[in-house]
Amino acid sequence: MTNPLAQFKPFPEPPALILEYIAERSAEESVVDGPPPWDLGALSAELVEPMPEWLDAVCRWLNGAYAWQPQDVIPPCWTKHEGLGYEIAAIAFARDDAYADAGSTVVWHEQYDRFVSRMNKVLGKAGDECRLGRHEDRPSRFQLAAWPDDTSGASPR
């Protein structure tokens, strides 16, 4: 008889560069005063470079482990939904911390459920098409275009 739990795949390991960065940030006498690794927009180009591949692997793992219903699937175009990227990074890093003890793991699963709810709210009806591989542009693009240009570089689009 084969072990029925052998099908359970391990969570994707963060890139080595990110693990080194985390270790440097958390060292007692750290000289690194950078942003947390889940704040994608604040990371240096060097640190953000390996993130898409890892976060894509995280999405695939989450979809394989938890997406039983169609609305639970993180769409393959998640990188085109800026807010999803931030959320996926946060939930991925939170999972690593949560699995340090069983009680925190239960809380992580509650957080994951809230992530799925927020994802579905953000994607709205477009999520159905995105999940089928047909990405739709941001529905609010016309309303966001009404905002005057921002000279600081931040974009609401």
Query: Full-prediction pTM beyond 0.75?
Result: yes
Q: Give per-residue pLDDT as tens, 113-147.
A: 999 999 999 898 888 999 999 988 888 888 888 98
Q: Give per-residue pLDDT as tens, 69-104.
A: 999 999 999 999 989 999 999 999 999 889 888 889
Residues 6+ apart with CB under 8 A from 156: 144, 147, 150
pLDDT in the model for residue 37: 94
Q: How many residues does the chain have?
A: 157
Would you tell me how many other CB atoms lie within 10 Å of the CB of residue 77? 17
Say if residue 156's pLDDT is above 80.
no
